[in-house]
Amino acid sequence: MLRLVAALAAGLALACAPERREPAERPSFVVLLADDLGYGDLGSTGVPDLQTPVLDRLASEGASFTDAYAASPVCSPTRVALLTGLYPQRLGHAFEDFLSVGSAGLDPARVTTLAERLRRAGYRTACYGKWNVEGHRRHGPLFFPNAHGFEHWFGTRRNHDYFTHRSLWNGEPDLYEDGRPVEVEGYTDRLLADRAVEFIESAADSGEPFLLYLPWLLPHYPLQAPDDRRIAPIGDRATYAKMVEFLDLQVGRILDALRDAGIERDTLVVFTSDNGGHTTARNAPLRGGKQGLTEGGIRVPLFLRWPGVIPAGERVSAPAITMDLPVTILTAAGLAAEAQGMDGVDLLPIATGSAPVEPRTLFWRRREINVKKKVDRILARAVRHGDWKLLDSGRALHLYHLPDDPGEERDLAAEEHAELLRLEALLDAWEHDVSPAADAR
């Protein structure tokens, strides 16, 4: 009798255990990039005044990285890092700031993007959203997504009025389809999700693996709720909250499309943000926000979901950074050789718990670039080595032990001088390593 009970218990445990399987040989990839989302603006990070049930579920269905970082505290450099797998500093000083209309852009003759690498391997590729890495206006379609390996692009060059799709700076139209200006009615991010759902359905019908890159505009300024055309003033938290909740709803549409197409188990979904939240966002418990190198400017949400491969409910404290994402994707696609020379690591062994977590050293440098005024100056630098972080504000060196002090409230520079000098030496060596032979301007 005891043997029978034991056998039944073992069978029940096996039936209840999460199914594990080998990764698909040619999985698909969905990369969801929020714009200026605060680290603390999700239910999973304790937000008190808005609801994000879809993103909270996404976090619980896979691996949630508590110490994930953007490559930069501003948008363009992080996007460059995501597309290339490189520290943006390797491409020249201009790539450390916003790639405005007067700056250098991401040149397809100089770099090979993640989309190009996957497309050469037979993947379908599409980008629906904000590009923001083309630089000079005269580059135009030569530097647009279609020139960087994306078969389809519907989206914007930068942020704009969510209803008129016109630039807030010069009033020009800013909505494109495959490089051509188009006029379409609707709230921008709803239109992006519409196209993404259509692409998923088409790709599923074809049976071909794909890369879907969705760089949302939400919840970046201008503050416009999907049910209100007015532009709210900076600091209008209620409007910002509606925008975050609408982003959550659109992510839900993407996940539902994967499920309905029967391909969610063969798709790695990645969700993260391009930098910390701006003025209206909540970055708690971190200090600072967008444009700064305190944790609030660079630490971002990061969720990886791949049912049957990444166990549900994994909470990962190992540091991760934007450049890890293309390396992870290429390795999962069986194209690890394509990731050689990139600055990231494969996150799947960490997310699945199949490999020990090794200490890492991550770096940041923030510049101000103004082509018209001929300004090119370093604003701040930072390095994280293991649990320690050195922040060079340009005026002083600050040292923090992050596990005990994620809000960077206690500066240990005077108490741990040897550690400070060690990290400063690492930072100086990195700067020398990433400096290109000739600056890209």
By residue range, what is the domain housing residue 370? 361-434
Q: Are residues 184 and 327 in the same domain?
A: yes
Instruction: Pick the catalytic residue from 75, 165, 278, 398.
Output: 75
Q: Is 15 within the bounds of a domain? A: no
Q: pLDDT tens-digit profile of 85-113?
A: 999 999 998 899 998 767 889 999 999 99
Record the tokens describing residue 256, joined without a space. Answer: 């539902």
- What pLDDT shows up at residue 130? 98
Q: Are residues 254 and 372 in the same domain?
A: no
Query: Domain with 93 in it: what CATH number?
Result: 3.40.720.10
Beta bridge partners of 36: none
Q: Are residues 265 and 379 in the same domain?
A: no
Quick check: 310 and 352 in contact, CB under 8 A?
yes
Q: Are residues 376 and 310 in the same domain?
A: no
Tell me which of 352, 381, 400 is where a domain ends. Answer: 352
Q: Is 247 exposed, middle or buried (0-12, 13-18, 19+ CB in 10 A)?
A: buried
Residue 16 annotated in active site: no
Q: Is 441 within the bounds of a domain? A: no
Q: Are residues 264 and 382 in the same domain?
A: no
Q: Are residues 297 and 368 in the same domain?
A: no
Tell me which of 317, 352, 387 is where a domain ends. Answer: 352
Tell me which of 352, 379, 408 is where a domain ends. Answer: 352
- What pLDDT shows up at residue 438? 47
Residue 75 annotated in active site: yes
Instruction: Pick the catalytic residue from 93, 127, 136, 165.
Output: 136
Q: Are residues 225 and 291 in the same domain?
A: yes
Number of folded domains that form the chain: 2
Task: Spell out, as residue ranges, where the chain has pLDDT lower than 50.
Answer: 1-21, 438-441
Measured distance CA(377)–CA(97) in Å, rounded: 10
Q: Are residues 323 and 366 in the same domain?
A: no
> SS3 for 275?
coil
Q: Can you give the pTM of this predicted structure?
A: 0.93
* Residue 345, C-beta contacts closer than 8 angstroms, at least 6 positions apart: 324, 327, 328, 360
Measured distance CA(331)–CA(352) in Å, rounded: 14
Q: pLDDT tens-digit profile of 224-256?
A: 999 999 999 999 999 999 999 999 999 999 999
